[in-house]
Amino acid sequence: MACLLLAQWLAVAAAANPAAAAFEDHARIRGAAEQAVRTQLADTPGQLVVEAQALDPRLLMPACELPLQASAPRGMQGRARVTAEVSCKGQRAWRLYVPVNIKLRRAVVVTAQPLERGKALAPGDVILAERELSELGGGYLASLDAVHGQLLRRAVPAGTPLSAALLEAPVLVRRGQAVTLQARSGGLSVQAPGVARGDGALGELIDVQNISSKKILQAVVINEKTVEIHLP
C-alpha cells in the first residue's frame, strides 16, 4: 500500500511538473541489487546465479543523478533468497529493499552407492557431484580426502550428500588397551607405558593411567598405539 501511494504521489507530481517525469529504470535498480550480492559471494566456489525479483511496475522511484548504492547482508552462503538494499544519495534521495534469488551449485561429496550404517568410507564409496547448496539443509563436505576412513552414523542411499553430522571418526584406542604415553615440552619428548581408561578417536582427549606412577592423566589420541600429553 505504501509503495502504491508513493507511486500515485509521484504520478501527480509528474503531471504538474513534466521535468520531474524521470523515474529510475527498474532494470538499473535490480542490477545494483544483483551486483551487491555477487560482490559478497565473490570468493565462494561454485557456479553462481543471482537474479533480483521483478519490482512492482507501479513503484516509480525518482531518477538518481548519481550511481546507485547497494549492499547485501553477510553470511549468505547456503541461502536461496536475501534482501539487498538499493539507495540513491542524490537530491531526491530514496531507499529500496529488493529481494534477490540465489542459486549456487558446487561439487560436494555424495555416496556412490547405497551404504550401511557403520561403514568405513573407502575411495570407491564416495564421489564428487554438483548440488544446489540451498537444498543441503544439513550441510555438505567438499573434499573426498576428508571423509575417507570415517564411519557412517546411519544407512544412506546412493547419491546422498555427506555432512559432518552423518560421519564419526573411528575409535583408535579402546578402554583397557596398552598405549605409549608421550609427553612433550619444547624440544624434549619423554615416553612411558600407559593404559587407556576410555575409548578415543583420532584427536580426542581420553584418560590414561601411567603404569609407573599410577597417575591418571588426560592425553590426546595420536594413533592406534600412542597418546600425547602437551606440557607447558
Measured between alpha carbons, how far is 183 from 199 in angstroms, rounded to an integer?
20
The reported pLDDT for the residue numbered 33 is: 97
The reported pLDDT for the residue numbered 11 is: 44
Residue in 224, 220, 171 with CA at minimum distance from that of residue 200: 171
The reported pLDDT for the residue numbered 36 is: 96
Measured between alpha carbons, how far is 198 from 173 in angstroms, rounded to an integer?
8
The three cell numbers of residue 139 are 550441510
What's the predicted TM-score (pTM) here?
0.63
Do the beta carbons of residue 227 and residue 209 sit within 8 Å? no
The number of beta carbons lying within 10 Å of the beta carbon of residue 29 is 23
Q: Which residues, in sequence order, are bridge partners of residue 85?
A: 71, 97
Q: Where are the domains of the chain?
A: 2-103, 105-168, 171-230
In this structure, which CATH number among 2.30.30.760, 3.30.60.50, 3.40.50.300, 1.10.287.70 belongs to the domain 171-230? 2.30.30.760
Instruction: Give residue-wise pLDDT tens across range 134-166.
Output: 888 778 999 999 899 999 999 999 999 999 999
Instruction: Give residue-wise pLDDT tens across range 10-42.
Output: 444 444 444 444 999 999 999 999 999 999 998
The reported pLDDT for the residue numbered 14 is: 42
The torsion angles phi and psi of 185, rounded to 5 degrees, stand at -150, 110
The reported pLDDT for the residue numbered 156 is: 95
Do the beta carbons of residue 227 and residue 210 sit within 8 Å? no
Within 8 A by CB and 6+ apart from 15, the residues are none
User: What tens-digit pLDDT sequence spans the chain (232 residues)?
Assistant: 444 334 444 444 444 444 444 999 999 999 999 999 999 998 888 899 999 999 999 999 999 999 999 999 988 877 889 999 999 999 999 999 999 999 989 999 999 999 999 999 999 999 999 999 888 877 899 999 989 999 999 999 999 999 999 999 999 999 999 999 998 877 778 899 999 999 999 889 999 999 989 999 999 999 999 999 877 6
The reported pLDDT for the residue numbered 232 is: 65
The reported pLDDT for the residue numbered 135 is: 85
Looking at the domain 105-168, which fold is it? Answer: Type Iii Antifreeze Protein Isoform Hplc 12 (3.90.1210)
